[in-house]
Amino acid sequence: MILALLQETAARALTFPGAHSVLRPHGPQALRIHELWRFLWIVALVVWVLVVAALLWGAFRRHGPEDGGERSGGGPGMHRAVVGATALTVVVLVVFLVFDFSTGRALTMAPGGELHVQVTGHQWWWEVEYPHPEPYKRATTANEIHVPVGVPVVVELQAADVIHSFWAPSLTGKRDLIPRVRSSLWFQADTPGVYRGQCAEFCGYQHAKMGFQIIAEPRAQFEAWLARQRDSARTPADTLARRGRQVFLASSCPLCHTIAGTMAGGNVGPDLTHLASRRTLAAGTLPNTRGNLAGWIVDPQRIKPGVIMPANQLAPRDLQALLAYLETLE
């Protein structure tokens, strides 16, 4: 009862809307990690109480009037207590070890029938790909991973530059992304929702602004989203947006960014084919609004100092046209 209350208080204190929290598991693996954590916590609490009780008992005994001649504390009773405490410590540590191993094993074994997603860590954003046997049907997005609810998802991880670490605490544990090494993990979201994730390995100046979102939605909704993401970008009908398309293609943007269906095929920065469908900009740094997008294009170094993207001095009319075009990329 008291434990449950303490745990709830801790969960409330550490959780604000949209936050990630190991104390609020929403998938089988996060649940197992949570169970392990709770077990360690309870045992540690019991051990602490016992140690403090023994300490107090010892202190009062030493100074008590009935403490006879055995002041140095070396009698057979004390020896038994020392041996007993050591044995108990060993037993507790072995139980911890077994529980930890069994949790680790359970986390690594995917149940099958899963969805595969490829995630590449860059300084400082996440490239997300949904593979397809036909290359032109691969869907590429950034900083958000859409998944169907209740389906195991295998995430294949790699790093493009330095070591990053993939961590979505409400769904699963951490896994490092190491250059030239492929690794993977799997998770499953049991309830629909948006789960925040974060790079959990220091990877440079903007490590803290390397977030992502996992969006768990019903199967039909997910399939519809994925079908849209597999499409190329359409040429806009609107005159202003058409002009924006020309601005984009005539500037340095295509050297770094891809928009499927156009000449832009750069692979330094995020794929922009469906930019307008995303919830955030700059790896979870800003909500994806027109004003934020404008600020980001004009002076990204002010928002996220150190990013590769340079400032873009565009004439106001060109900027408006470019924004109109980017907003058609749904």
Residue 127 engages ligand CUA in binding (rule: CB under 6 A): no
Choice from 207, 292, 312, 314 touching ligand CUA (CB under 6 A): 207
Compute the least distance from the CB of residue 203 to ligand CUA, in Å.
3
Residue 270 engages ligand CUA in binding (rule: CB under 6 A): no
Nearer to ligand CUA, 127 or 201 (CB): 201
Tokens of 98: 């077994």
Bridge partners (DSSP) listed for residue 181: 178
Stretch that binds ligand CUA, among 24-32, 127-135, 199-207, 274-282 (CB under 6 A): 199-207
Nearer to ligand CUA, 159 or 260 (CB): 159
Choice from 26, 34, 146, 164 touching ligand CUA (CB under 6 A): 164
Residue 197 engages ligand CUA in binding (rule: CB under 6 A): no
Instruction: Please list, residue by residue across 160-194, b when 16 or more beta carbons sit within 10 angstroms of its beta carbon and e when fewer do.
Output: eebebbbbbbbbbbebbbbeeeeebbbbbbeeeee
Most distant CA atoms of the chain, gap in Å: 100
Stretch that binds ligand CUA, among 6-14, 51-59, 197-205, 232-240 (CB under 6 A): 197-205
Give the integer Cα–Cα distance in Å for 239 and 251: 18
Residue 157 engages ligand CUA in binding (rule: CB under 6 A): no
Residue 155 engages ligand CUA in binding (rule: CB under 6 A): no
Nearer to ligand CUA, 197 or 244 (CB): 197
Compute the least distance from the CB of residue 121 to ligand CUA, in Å.
6
Is the CA virtual torsion 252, 254, 259, 263 positive or negative? positive
Contact between residue 144 and residue 280 where contact means Cβ atoms under 8 Å apart: yes
Instruction: State which H helix or E strand residue 119 sits in.
Output: strand 115-122
Give the integer Cα–Cα distance in Å for 158 and 2: 43
Contact between residue 126 and residue 119 where contact means Cβ atoms under 8 Å apart: yes
Choice from 203, 233, 272, 282 touching ligand CUA (CB under 6 A): 203
Footprint of ligand CUA on residues 75-94 (CB under 6 A)? none
Nearer to ligand CUA, 25 or 121 (CB): 121
Nearer to ligand CUA, 121 or 270 (CB): 121
Nearer to ligand CUA, 164 or 230 (CB): 164
- Give the distance from CA 327 to its chain's centroid: 27
Residue 142 engages ligand CUA in binding (rule: CB under 6 A): no
Compute the least distance from the CB of residue 214 to ligand CUA, in Å.
16
Q: Are strands 153-159 and 115-122 parallel, antiparallel or unpaired?
A: parallel
- Give the dihedral of Cα atoms 269, 212, 154, 258; nearest 10 deg: -20
Choice from 121, 148, 152, 300 touching ligand CUA (CB under 6 A): 121
Instruction: State which H helix or E strand residue 266 sits in.
Output: none
Give the integer Cα–Cα distance in Å for 247 and 260: 16
CB atoms within 10 A of CB 268: 12
Residue 210 engages ligand CUA in binding (rule: CB under 6 A): yes
Q: Please, what is the end-to-end C-alpha distance for the chain in angstroms?
A: 49
Choice from 107, 117, 119, 124 touching ligand CUA (CB under 6 A): 124
Interface residue list for ligand CUA (CB under 6 A): 121, 124, 164, 199, 201-203, 207, 210
